[in-house]
Amino acid sequence: MLARYLKAQLIVLLCGGLVGPIFLVVYFTMGFGDLLAWMLYVGLLITVADVVIAIALANFGAKSSAKNAELEQTGVLALAQITGLTETGTWINNQQVVKVHLHIAGPGFLPFDSEDRVIAHLTRLGNLNARKVVVLVNPTTQEYRIDWERSALVNGLVPAQFTLSEDNRTYDLSGQAGPVMEILQILKANNIPLNQAGDLRSNPVVRQQIQAVVRRAAAQQAPAPQPAAAGGPAPAGT
């Protein structure tokens, strides 16, 4: 929590809050007394506001992290279709904030519609243009969070390649939303984070489940064999 507060305090100071401490330093070092008395009061006011804002930001960050951790632990992984995008007229750090209209459906809860405001920076544009995102949903409260990392995998923005040693082959499922989503749900159900999904030798059951999905997807992706010709040309009469 201390590290979170210090980070928030640094952000506040860099965003203009440094004026308060500067006023206090000037007042106590210049020695002009009544002439600079206003600097004392203004400096104190700004400095106190800096501390209060930093504490509020740290608390908000802590609550947000706890909520995200709870959703990651107990939430349901679902696919949300983007039914619309609306401009909000708001910009943060020269990046537009847009309102995303979602239709969310998944196992364990009834489908529902919702809206979320997101910053449309470059790393998210591909997911927004793909018109679908992965979300973590609390099936009881319908509270949810867009998972941009998993969304990039489902939408083919990040390679989804799986090497099966038994087949001595690497399968590329990039852009195949259904199979990739199924694999993500298997990993989520077994509490396996994405950064540990590359080596499943210690979990043979999960490994077999994922192999089955990969092989099935590869078989569906393979081109169908061309039908043989009905017959050769008729023999010439003699």
Supply the pTM of this predicted model: 0.70
pLDDT in tens, 159-211: 988 888 888 889 999 989 999 999 999 999 888 888 777 667 778 898 899 99
**pLDDT score recorded for residue 237:** 43
pLDDT in tens, 9-38: 888 777 877 888 888 888 888 876 677 788
Could you identify the residue written with the tokens 């609550």?
A: 63
**pLDDT score recorded for residue 234:** 46
